[in-house]
Structure 1
Amino acid sequence: MILTIDNVITPEELTQLTETLSKGKFVDGQTTAGWHAKLVKHNSQLETTFPEIKTLQDLVINALQRNLLFKLAIHPKHIHSLRFSRYEQQMNYGSHTDNALMGGKQFFRSDVSFTLFLSAPESYEGGELVIEKPEGKLCYKLNAGSIILYPSTFLHRVETVKTGTRLVVVGWIQSLIRDTSKREILFDIDTVRRSLFAKNGKSVEFDLLAKTHANLLRQWAE
């Protein structure tokens, strides 16, 4: 399941992120790429020693954790490996798949990848996120403050930036539910049961859906 959420951070948080990042030093993004992704990764990333990087990471994680749609769809266990990436003119990231395990000494699985857009789409040309699916490619260039989440199993790329600067936060999530199809089933059931409750309150039908959702979650959660 591919999910986009508008305004996952507030305008004030967006301003805090962009103003703080403008003071940071950006280094070659290849330093954090896998051995094969290094061949196609051409961007820059905020230096990990930047004094305020933990504050910025916590800001993004807290924004995600307070978003109900995110929690219902993703079932996050660990949000990890956040990187602040910048693409300037002629920079891109060729087709690749994200590493299955990340985090250095403490390994986390990458079940879901995300890109949080920090630059207004009209401020740069090119730079679309392209997700490659068997039935064709999907292109995304979201408003500043909006996020896209997608299975980490997909091949994807970032098109060349022709003008302007593309500033984003990328990161990964280890979900309580490893399998993307099972996450989608749980999300659909939860959406229906919440809709029924909003219309009719607690009913026999609601109770059966709630029971099914809880039992599937109990069976599938890791």
Structure 2
Amino acid sequence: MVVIEQLLSKQEVQAYRDILDKQAWQDGKQTAMGMAASVKSNGQADASNSAIKALTNQLLAKLGATPKLISAALPHRIFPPCFNRYSQGEHYGFHVDAAIMRIPNTNDVMRSDMSMTLFLSEQDEYQGGELIIKTDFGQQKVKLNAGDAVLYPSSSLHQVSPVSQGKRVAAITWMQSLIPDAPMRETLFNLDQSIQALLSNPNIAREELDRLHHVYHNLIRQHSQV
């Protein structure tokens, strides 16, 4: 999992919420597939609404301009973000995201390698509603500040625990990575983060940075699928 703090600023979150809080929310089961529909209980914003379309495009542009996200996911395709809301008693039981998704209003399909949840409610606005992800090291509970996002493997079983009070508003999306192999993607992320840290060190010789860049980009050449 990779946490991206303040993907949206507090001002941007408020602008999103000003629009989302005025929307009529549809039954989230309408967009669930297969077994997921039986465990899904939430509201989802109408993706065909012009105001929602504008938010979706704004968020897509923001994702494409967020260096840490690009470094972690190396995205080839990004599914148009969806906005959801969990009110009291609503939840989304354990499920796995669909492996292949059709991009809305196109004939294009994409493979879901990484999922992302962007929190748009502050932690004290609701109780419960944690994103719970099953990992090899046990269940990880995630509840972040408004504007923060978490990236995690789409292959993982995960759920949103029941909201017992308040409302949990979030955006979700999925990404097909240029690097389908998750361990290699993690290796490249760690390598890139080290390179970025070394760039700010004036004592590191340019030749050493060039050597690391050479390794990084050649690994991408060897392992990418486009």
Q: TM-score, normalised by structure 1?
A: 0.95
The superposition leaves residues 117-138 of structure 1 with CA deviations (integer Å, 9 ceiling, x where unpaired) of 0011101000000001132100
Alignment match, 2:213: 210
RMSD: 1.4
Counterpart code for 1:155: L
Counterpart code for 1:183: R
- The answer for unaligned runs of 5 or more in structure 1 is none
Whole-Å separation in 1 of the counterparts to 2:123 and 2:74: 29
Whole-Å separation in 2 of the counterparts to 1:164 and 1:214: 46
Counterpart code for 2:114: V
Whole-Å separation in 2 of the counterparts to 1:65 and 1:127: 27
Alignment match, 1:39: 38
SS at match of 1:94: strand
Whole-Å separation in 2 of the counterparts to 1:36 and 1:79: 24
The superposition leaves residues 167-209 of structure 1 with CA deviations (integer Å, 9 ceiling, x where unpaired) of 0001101111111111111112222233333323543332221
- The answer for unaligned runs of 5 or more in structure 2 is none
Picking from 148, 160, 167, the partner of 2:150 is: 148
SS at match of 1:52: helix
Alignment match, 1:61: 60
Is the contact made by 2:92 and 2:159 (CA closer than 8 Å) also made in structure 1?
yes
Q: Percent identity?
A: 37
SS at match of 2:147: coil
Whole-Å separation in 1 of the counterparts to 2:96 and 2:54: 28
Q: In the TM superposition, what is the alpha-carbon distance from 1:10 to its structure 2 partner? A: 1.9
Is the contact made by 2:101 and 2:112 (CA closer than 8 Å) also made in structure 1?
yes
Counterpart code for 2:223: W
Counterpart code for 1:29: G
Whole-Å separation in 1 of the counterparts to 2:137 and 2:129: 22
Picking from 178, 183, 186, the partner of 2:185 is: 183
Deviating above 4 A after TM superposition, structure 1's stretches of 4 or more consecutive aligned residues are none
Do residues 78 (structure 1) and 80 (structure 2) align? no
Is the contact made by 2:40 and 2:92 (CA closer than 8 Å) also made in structure 1?
yes
Whole-Å separation in 2 of the counterparts to 1:188 and 1:49: 38
Do residues 161 (structure 1) and 160 (structure 2) align? no
Is the contact made by 2:47 and 2:53 (CA closer than 8 Å) also made in structure 1?
no
The superposition leaves residues 26-52 of structure 1 with CA deviations (integer Å, 9 ceiling, x where unpaired) of 111011111110110011101223121
Q: TM-score, normalised by structure 2?
A: 0.93
Is the contact made by 2:98 and 2:112 (CA closer than 8 Å) also made in structure 1?
yes
Whole-Å separation in 1 of the counterparts to 2:124 and 2:197: 36
Whole-Å separation in 1 of the counterparts to 2:70 and 2:190: 13
Alignment match, 1:122: 124
Do residues 90 (structure 1) and 92 (structure 2) align? no
Whole-Å separation in 1 of the counterparts to 2:90 and 2:166: 11
| Cα distance, 1:187–1:16 mapped onto 2, change above 3 Å | same
Alignment match, 1:113: 115
Alignment match, 2:176: 174
SS at match of 1:208: helix
The superposition leaves residues 55-88 of structure 1 with CA deviations (integer Å, 9 ceiling, x where unpaired) of 1111211222221111111111111142110100
